[in-house]
Amino acid sequence: MGKVVFDISVSLDGFVAGPNQTLDEPLGEGGELLHEWAFATKGFRERHGESGGETNVDSEVVEEWLDNTFATVMGRRMFSGGEGPWEDDPNADAWWGDDPPFHHPVFVLTHHAREPVPKRGGTTFTFVTDGIEAALEQARAAAGGKDVGVGGGAIVAQQYLKAGLLDDVRLHLVPVLLGDGVRLFENHVADTAPKLERTRVIESPTGVTHLEYRVVK
Amino acid sequence: MGKVVFDISVSLDGFVAGPNQTLDEPLGEGGELLHEWAFATKGFRERHGESGGETNVDSEVVEEWLDNTFATVMGRRMFSGGEGPWEDDPNADAWWGDDPPFHHPVFVLTHHAREPVPKRGGTTFTFVTDGIEAALEQARAAAGGKDVGVGGGAIVAQQYLKAGLLDDVRLHLVPVLLGDGVRLFENHVADTAPKLERTRVIESPTGVTHLEYRVVK
């Protein structure tokens, strides 16, 4: 059976998005800085129909992730581009565009049942109203024995971590300080904290440190 | 001139001490977990008159730090073992014992003038009431051109970072989740965030990742 992997870029001060998220700036102020390393790679650009890009270990990390993820689970706020009054808008998927970067089935955790939204390039957003385990079950089925990605946001990832449903946590530690925003680990309760075993460190010349941890079960 | 180095162990969720710090548990609940890697090393044990201990990269990291730090600056709360009613107690230094681990001059930032407290083994606590720059100046003089350590706590380190007075930030990233406690970066303002350049990654078999960043000036 494939792994359930939470893969995310995080600032040195522990933020996965900047403050003041809006539809125009869904990653919050400064949040783009967390993803520049990935956007700059050949691996990322190729999958988005663009030429050029860096061929370095960052690109290998991106390619490995893209090549091995066959379904994604995400929260409603990630789907709708942050928290705000637009969340319930039927066009809330607009910010992902016509050709989202997933190219595989995406299961969106929500309280509002809704018809699936097919997009170009293999991405279909399917809405799941009966909780994180049900969403993961559907994602596992869609991935056909390969890896499932937990896309975020942070709160959804924490729920999966607490429930013991994550196998790997991959952090891309970016050497910036955002100062404020959405914390990767905000609501975690120490009593239920899982043990993590570091399985890999990849040091990129761009200053990003790619860290992989296995959740000990 | 020597460097000004902030060297600290931090949990994967960004805490440098656990919650509920008391005099009996100055590192807070679970806070000891952040320092086990260092306490277990031969390098640390030797300097504390104990035999045994691990001879691994963790030990090399500890030895390098101990060998190169010739004066330390710390906040009053670190001196007195956390925040609490005992802070103003004249015996508030009790938790460091008779032979503190520094073995060099320590300058304590405080608002209350006080006579220096000499301890065994070369550690003298000197109290500085006129701010972080004055404390650093005294520490630099005491270090005689060698490195000065900023001991913490987190708030003191943030003040030095914001003031542009730190040269290096060394984080020992420990694969535990504390869930709550004292955050390494809590009050940082993004507008004044310094740029950091990663200069070193040391991967220890114990699961700790030693990360060194240079503050770009």
- pLDDT profile of chain B (217 residues), mean per 10: 93 89 82 94 89 95 94 89 61 76 92 89 93 97 96 87 93 92 72 83 96 94
Tell whether the model's pLDDT for residue A79 goes beyond 90. Answer: no
Poorest-pLDDT segment among A44-48, A72-76, A81-85: A81-85
- Its pTM stands at 0.88
Record: contact A177-B196, CB cut-off 8 A: yes
Q: How far is CA A158 from the centre of its chain?
A: 12
CA A139 to chain B, closest CA, distance in angstroms equals 27
pLDDT, tens only, A110-158? 988 888 999 988 999 999 999 999 999 999 999 999 999 998 888 899 8
Record: contact B173-A211, CB cut-off 8 A: yes
In this structure, which topology does domain B4-216 adopt according to CATH?
Dihydrofolate Reductase, subunit A (3.40.430)
CA B99 to chain A, closest CA, distance in angstroms equals 33
Q: Which residue in A36, A23, A8 sits closest to A79, CA to CA?
A: A23
Q: Which residue in B81, B92, B70 sits closest to B21, CA to CA?
A: B81
CA B19 to chain A, closest CA, distance in angstroms equals 10
CA A121 to chain B, closest CA, distance in angstroms equals 36
In chain B, residues with a C-beta closer than 8 Å to the C-beta of A203 are: 198, 201
Cβ-contact B121, B66 below 8 angstroms: no
Most A CBs within 10 A among B34, B180, B198, B199, hence the mutation to make, goes to B198
In chain A, residues with a C-beta closer than 8 Å to the C-beta of B14 are: 13-14, 183-185
pLDDT at A105: 97
Chain B interface includes A164 (CB < 8 A): no
Record: contact B177-A184, CB cut-off 8 A: no
The side-by-side arrangement of strands in the sheet containing B195-203 is B117-118, B124-128, B105-109, B69-75, B147-152, B4-11, B168-174, B209-216, B195-203
To the nearest 10°, report the CA torsion of A152, A154, A160, A165: 70
Per-residue tokens: B110 = 């405080």
Chain B interface includes A188 (CB < 8 A): yes
Closest-approach residue (CA) in chain B for A194:
B177
> CB under 8 Å to B35, separation ≥6 — which residues?
B9, B27
Alpha-carbon distance of A102 to A66, in angstroms, equals: 8
Q: What are the beta bridge partners of residue B37?
A: none
Q: Which residue has the tokens 């379904």?
A: A71
Tell whether the model's pLDDT for residue A28 goes beyond 80. Answer: yes
pLDDT at A137: 97
Chain A interface includes B197 (CB < 8 A): yes
The three-class DSSP label of residue A214 is strand
Q: How far is CA B92 from the centre of its chain?
A: 18
Cβ-contact B175, A196 below 8 angstroms: yes
Per-residue tokens: A85 = 């009054």
Chain A interface includes B164 (CB < 8 A): no
Chain B interface includes A199 (CB < 8 A): no
Record: contact B190-A29, CB cut-off 8 A: yes
Record: contact A177-B185, CB cut-off 8 A: yes
Per-residue tokens: B167 = 């040269």
Alpha-carbon distance of B68 to A63, in angstroms, equals: 41
Pairing of strands A195-203, A209-216: antiparallel
Alpha-carbon distance of A169 to A162, in angstroms, equals: 13
CATH class in words for A4-28+69-216: alpha beta
Closest-approach residue (CA) in chain A for B190:
A179
Alpha-carbon distance of B72 to B142, in angstroms, equals: 9
Closest-approach residue (CA) in chain A for B14:
A14
Q: Which residue has the tokens 């508030």?
A: B92
pLDDT at A100: 87
Record: contact B201-A203, CB cut-off 8 A: yes
Most B CBs within 10 A among A182, A185, A204, A206, hence the mutation to make, goes to A185
Q: Which residue in B105, B106, B217 sits closest to B166, CA to CA?
A: B217
Record: contact B196-A180, CB cut-off 8 A: no
Alpha-carbon distance of A201 to B207, in angstroms, equals: 10
pLDDT at B190: 52
Alpha-carbon distance of B203 to B72, in angstroms, equals: 26
Alpha-carbon distance of B99 to B48, in angstroms, equals: 9
Instruction: Give the phi and the psi of residue A42 in degrees, each rounded to 5.
Output: -60, -40
Record: contact A193-B178, CB cut-off 8 A: yes
User: Identity (one letter) of the amino acid at B85?
Assistant: P
Q: How confident is the model at residue A88 (pLDDT cuts 50, 70, 90)?
A: low
Q: Which residue has the higher pLDDT, A96 or A38?
A: A38
